[in-house]
Amino acid sequence: MSELKSIALVGRPNVGKSRLFNRLLGRRVSIVHDRPGVTRDIVAEKLSDGVLLMDTGGMFASEGVSESVIIDATNRQAAFAVGAADAVIFVVDSQEGLTPLDLDIAKLLRDSGKPVVLAINKVDVPEHSERNSEFYALGFRDCVEVSAEHGAGVEDLAALIERDFGEISPPADEGDGRIKICVAGRPNVGKSSIANRLLGGDRLIVSQVAGTTRDAVKFDLDFAAKNGETLKFRLYDTAGLKARSKTNTSLDFLSSLRARRAVESCDVVFLVLDCMGGVTELDKRLAGEIMEAGASIIVVVNKWDLAEVAFARQPLRGYDNIREFGAAFDESVRKIFNFIGDSRVYFVSALENRGVGRLLEAAGRMRAKMNAGVSTGRLNKTVRELMEKNPPKYVSGKRFKVYYCVKTGSRPYTVRMYCNDAGALSSPYEKYLVNGLRAALKLGGVAIRLEPIGKPAVSAAERTAGRTSE
């Protein structure tokens, strides 16, 4: 997979950066308000599968707009975005004309050496173009007049982006905003029974999406939550996942492959365990594969009715009642699956339709966790504290250092880390950071991926040339 390129939108406060950001994305992501200084953190979203677009706070704001501490933080983050980006869109306001702040930002961008597109915004009527000659005097090669409010000129801006970064195609289909879920597990754990219970509830409106019996059949369903909210899901019904060495027939292999592809398409996976069989090695491997695919996990322990019958017939030593046994089972599952964190383990009986009704609301809460924003300040503070508590070891003579972090994705929950050297991040230390972030940010069950971006290597000749030019 090619490395994600990034573009930063910068400018002084209230020039329309966030509105232009939303216009380019084709959806509302950044908050738009006439009051200056609304955007403070870096907001990052994929413009296409290969390009990340970053919205930044207004640079060089006056103290009348925000408190000085916020101004300083906003300026640092915007400057960092410029340094981290592969290209910059410099947004100015046609209606206010060229200001001293615009000149200061233009100088900063020229000094950065980054490719710059000057976007002259708020050209809402043709007459506004007459006052734009002063902006062209800034000397940037690529200039385009746009109206983020009405969409005029945005296609020309997109064409300049495509010239340098390739065709802008929307990220992979998100299923009309539906929460994509599936029920996965090894054979005979009751996976199909749980799927049927989810589809058969009185509060569900179900429509089938094309599929075949052994294929990963998809169903769209709307669920009325207890709080009155309607949760929209796309449920993938999959064949039981088997260990790769046990997929003996071509049909087994294809079913397993389709099940894995379904998992890769989902936001949330219900990983079903058989309470009578406990947690097997295959269960552990499946959990690892689901997390690796970027889906979040809700652990479901099925056939609890059989455990209750067995306990009533012959109580287990050391447990006074089934509740104590259930608590011990829960604790054991959490030790094996340390990603569960603050999430709940659900004990259900698909046969008796007990506990299954809670799963859809749990999936809604899990997706909300995945999509939840986190301020760059909190994220960077958390990473800094984790690294101070347990500093990384040297790898090939280098110790991993993180300069700045920003959340760039929700599936999986992706944290881009600008660092000294991506190769200095060892696998054990990466797991430590992921587990630490999951605990600190209360992301139990959420798949987290770190994306280290190292400084570009500079050759001895380039360093010498740089000193000579000075």
Residue among 246, 243, 241 at smallest CA distance from 269: 241
How would residue 203 be classed by pLDDT, with cut points 50, 70 and 90?
Answer: very low
DSSP reduced 3-state for 255: helix
Give me the percent of the chain exceeding a pLDDT of 70.
78
- In the prediction, which pLDDT does 457 show? 55
Partner residues linked to 396 by β-bridges: none
Angle at 144 between CA 138 and CA 146, to 5 degrees: 120
Could you tell me what percent of the chain has a pLDDT over 90?
A: 38
- pLDDT of the residue at 132: 85
Q: Is 70 exceeded by the pLDDT of residue 8?
A: yes
Q: Quote the pLDDT of residue 40.
A: 43
Mean pLDDT value of segment 359-383? 93
| Residue 464: predicted pLDDT | 52
Q: Is the pLDDT of residue 220 over 90?
A: no
Q: From the centroid of its chain, how far is CA 359?
A: 22
Give Cβ neighbours of residue 16 (< 8 Å, ≥ 6 apart). 91, 93, 121, 122, 148, 149
Average pLDDT, the chain: 80
Nearest to 86 by CA among 2, 12, 15: 2
Q: Looking at 186-195, 290-299, 301-310, which range is the least confident one?
A: 186-195
Read off the tokens for 322: 């089934």
| pLDDT score for 33 | 36
| pLDDT exceeds 60 at position 83 | yes
Residue 218: pLDDT band (50, 70, 90) is low
How far is it, in rounded angstroms, from Cα 283 to Cα 291?
12
**Nearest CA-CA partner of 16 in 134, 104, 96, 111:** 96
CATH dotted code for 376-454? 3.30.300.20
pLDDT score for 254: 40
Give pLDDT, residue 192. Answer: 77
pLDDT at 216 over 80: no
Mean pLDDT value across residues 79-108? 89
Residue 251 has pLDDT above 50, yes or no: no
Residue carrying the six token digits 């569960």: 340
In whole angstroms, what is the distance from residue 105 CA to residue 108 CA? Answer: 5
Reported as a pLDDT band with limits 50, 70 and 90, residue 221 is confident
Establish whether the linkage from the previous residue to 412 is cis, with ω within 30° of 0: yes
Helix (H, G, I), strand (E, B) or coil at 230: strand
Q: Which of 178-187, 227-236, 341-350, 458-467 has the highest mean pLDDT?
A: 341-350
Helix (H) or strand (E) run with residue 88 in it: strand 87-93
One-letter identity of residue 344: R
**CATH code that applies to domain 179-371:** 3.40.50.300
Would you say residue 69 has pLDDT above 50?
no
Domain ranges in the chain are 5-165, 179-371, 376-454
Question: What tokens does 384 get?
Answer: 């800094």
Q: What is the pLDDT of residue 248?
A: 54
- How much is the pLDDT for 361? 93
Q: Which residue has the higher pLDDT, 255 or 246?
A: 246
Given a cut of 70, whether residue 236 has pLDDT beyond it is yes
Tell me which residue of 350, 362, 357 sits closest to 273, measured CA to CA.
350
- Report whether pLDDT(328) > 70: yes
What are the tens digits of pLDDT across the range 275-287?
888 888 888 988 9
Closest CA to 302 of 334, 335, 279: 279
Name the CATH superfamily for 5-165.
P-loop containing nucleotide triphosphate hydrolases (3.40.50.300)
Highest mean pLDDT: which of 188-202, 428-442, 450-464?
428-442
Least reliable range by pLDDT among 179-183, 236-240, 365-369 = 236-240
179-371 and 376-454, same CATH topology: no
CB of 295 closer than 8 Å to CB of 370:
no
167-192: average pLDDT: 76
Question: Which long-range contacts (C-beta less than 8 Å, at least 24 apart) are formed by 61-70?
Answer: 61/12, 61/13, 61/36, 61/37, 65/13, 65/36, 65/37, 66/37, 66/40, 70/37, 70/40
**26: phi > 0 → left, psi -120 to 50 → alpha, else beta; which?**
left
Q: What is the mean pLDDT of residues 8-15?
A: 89
Which residues does residue 349 pair with via DSSP β-bridges, in sequence order? Answer: 354
pLDDT band (50, 70, 90) for residue 46: confident
Which region among 18-22, 219-223, 385-389, 395-399 has the lowest average model confidence (pLDDT)? 219-223
What number is the average pLDDT over the span 409-422?
93
pLDDT digits (tens, 9 = 90+) for 116-151: 999 999 988 666 677 788 899 899 999 999 999 888
Answer yes or no: is pLDDT of 312 > 80.
yes
Taking the C-alpha atoms of residue 355 and residue 392, their distance in angstroms, rounded to an integer, is 43
pLDDT of residue 238: 61
Distance (Å, rounded) from C-alpha 246 to C-alpha 250? 11
C-alpha distances out from residue 108 to 58, 111, 155, 218, Å: 14, 5, 27, 52
For residue 99, the one-letter residue type is T
210 pLDDT more than 70: no
For the chain, give the number of residues: 470
